[in-house]
Structure formats: C-alpha cells, structure tokens
Copies of this chain bind each other. A is one copy, B any other.
Amino acid sequence: VAANHSKLALPFRRYHINKVWRGENTQRGRYREFYQCDFDIVGTRSVLADLDTLLLMAQAMETLGVAKYTIRLSHRGIFNALLDQLGMQEHSVAVLRAVDKLPKIGEEKVRALLAEVASDTAIDTILQFLVMKGSFAETLENMENLSGDETEGSKRLREIAQNLEELGKLQHFQLDPSITRGLDYYTGVVFETFLDELPEFGSVCSGGRYDQLAGLYTKEDLPGVGASVGLDRLLAALEELGRTGGQGQGTQVLIINFNPAHNGAYLKLAGQLRAVGIATEIFPQKRKPNPQYSYAEKKAIPFVLTLNDEDVANGTASLKDLESGDTQKRSYTRQDYSDDQKLTSRCHIEYTII
C-alpha cells in the first residue's frame, strides 16, 4: 500500500489466503511456513473499519459453524495512558510483553517480570487495570479510572460496544485489558478470538489497528486495521469440535440420468443452474434410481431433479427435496424457484430448459 497508495482508491481493502513465513524462532506448532488468512483495511481511522473487521471475524466463526466464540478486545491507547500516568512509557515494550503472557503464565510470574521495570505500587496498579469486571462498561470504567480519564481510546471502545450491542453481537465480545498483542506496531484496538469450548487452543484470529506501520515506508498517512486467521490452528480446532464434515458445501442439485437421449437437456439444465451459482451435477450414466439416490446421499446433495420424456418436451422437471421427501412438478419455462426456501437462500434461479 505504501508503494502504491496513489494508484489505489483508499481505503484499500484486501485479503490473502496463502502461505506465510515466520521471522521469529520456530517452536512446536509454530512452524517457519504456515497458512494464514489475512484481511485489512488501510487508509482510514474510521471506527467503521474497526467494526467491519470485528464483525467479519464474528461472521467467519458463525459461517464455520462455531456458535460459541469470544472475541476479547482492548485498546493500546488506554494502556499507553496508564503507562504515562505511571511515568513508565519508556518501559512500554517490556510491560506489554509481560502483560501479554498473563493468561499463559499467571499473575505471580507476570509480577516477577514486571518487577524488573516497575515499583510495587505500579505493579499493583497495572494488575488492577487488567481485571475484567462484570460487564464491558464496568471494565471500561475501571480502565479509565486507573489510566486518568476518558481518552480517544476509551471513547472508541465505547462506540464499538454500542454498535455491537445495536447489532445484537455484544455477547460475543469481551473487554479484556490483558489483551495487548505484544507486537510494537499496534496503536489502537487489539483483539483475539477464542473458541469457548477449546480455550486451550489460544486465539484463532487476532489483529488490531496499526496507524503508524506504513510510516516505515512512506510519509503518507496510511492508518490501517486488520486481522489474521491461523488456518492450521483453526482447522485443528474445528476437527476437535467435529465441525469439518463439509456437509452441504458441495453439489446442491443432482440431475438424475434416466436416458442418454436426454443428455442435451440434462446439460442445458445443468448449465443454467450453474450460471446462477448453483453447483449441479448430472449422474454420469443411465442407471436404476437406487444407486443414483445413494450417490446423492453419500455426497450430501440436498436436491435431485428428474426429467422424463414428457418433461423434456414440456419444459418441466420434478424437484425432490431429499431431506423432507417433498416432490413437486415444476415448470422451468421462465419460472423460478423463488418460493423454494432452501434454494433461494443460496441464490435466485431463473431459467428455461426448452
């Protein structure tokens, strides 16, 4: 973005699902080369970009069939205000790194790490600051009390919480002041995503706002916000949860093959369904119904279409919902499936077979 900002319409939105390489030392489960899905919005400080990122993370979990997840978030600006208050800004990296380890190593060890740079009183204040109270609002108030006053950061978090509540999503978000994301480049909201049923997997999607990162490469002001899904870890978690069945992710409609003389009609119908985004297969050869229906079942294909001679001549077909067993004779001459809930939820279909 730094190299191409004059050519881009800002804010620039991008995503990337591919291999990435780790600069830090490798460890068990932290490989040199791994798969990541990143998404970022660069070129705006708007709270809407923060919200878009957070809502995308929530939507991704729900699309993956994970209903029980918690996105823990905080704001680096409030933490910085606390360090200012304590006169400890120069030790911010050490403090952030220690605090980031709280869930892993516990309070006592964090206290020991902090003792290298902070007085006992300062350590007490920092640890009080990290406590989660009953609600988002109460935790935020505690953070403001200890860090001095309302700041840009706390206003931003309040606005985010208010919008999440309006959208009925706040129950999935938790204000957790111990979320700091160790990396130096974060400047605003920071967040991590946990699966409630598998907290030991750690965060499966993390990120934050980095308003000065592009400053390494350009004088242009290019504030950004984004997140990354660690795909290997997320997939391992989904396997553990038994959510990798892939049901219904493949073919939507199977056209039953009763007569090779109708191949042209089958292909035309398949082409029209595919053109509107409905994954369609034709059973490859004429066979008795049973093996064809077994194939649909084995592949979890939800609908079958059958065409007899009359259907081919009249532009009709029978649509069978394999879950309910309902069969309806449908005319496909400029008719559509719009009253068919399951199919419309995926796409609107309009076609003619003759």
Residues of A participating in the B interface, judged by any CB pair closer than 8 Å: 9, 11, 13, 41, 44, 46-49, 51-52, 55, 59, 162-163, 166-167, 257, 263-264, 266-268, 270-271, 274, 277, 281-282, 284-285, 295, 298-299, 338, 344, 347-348, 350
Contact = CB atoms under 8 A, between A and B. Distances in A.
Contacts of A266: 48
A58 to B, nearest CB: 10
Nearest to A13: B281
Contacts of A268: 166-167
A162 B270 CA distance: 17
Contact of A347 (B46, B49, B166, B348): B348
Contacts of A13: 281
Copies of this chain held together in the complex: 2
6 contacts: A9-B299, A48-B284, A48-B285, A51-B267, A55-B271, A277-B347
Nearest to A49: B284
Given A9-B295, A284-B11, A267 B48 contact: yes
A351 to B, nearest CB: 12
A167 B264 contact: yes
A298 B44 contact: no
Contact of A282 (B48, B263, B284, B298): B48
Most buried by B among A44, A271, A274: A271
Top 3 A-B pairs, shortest CB-CB distance: A348-B348, A46-B284, A166-B264
Nearest to A260: B47
Nearest to A257: B48
Contacts of A11: 284
B285 A44 contact: yes
A93 B281 CA distance: 36
B347 A338 contact: no
Contact of A338 (B9, B295, B338): B338
A347 B336 CA distance: 13
A47 B295 contact: no
Nearest to A250: B13
A167 B263 CA distance: 10
A263 B51 contact: yes
A264 B163 contact: yes
Contacts of A282: 48, 52
Contacts of A162: 264
A344 B257 CA distance: 30
Contact of A298 (B9, B299, B350): B9
A35 B167 CA distance: 42
A345 B47 CA distance: 33
A287 to B, nearest CB: 11
Contact of A267 (B55, B257, B271): B55
A169 to B, nearest CB: 9
With a 10 A CB-CB cut-off, give which of A9, A13, A167, A274 has the most chain B CB atoms: A9
Given A41-B284, A46-B284, A162-B264, 14 more contacts: A9-B295, A46-B285, A48-B263, A48-B284, A48-B285, A51-B263, A51-B267, A59-B271, A163-B264, A163-B267, A167-B264, A338-B338, A347-B347, A348-B348
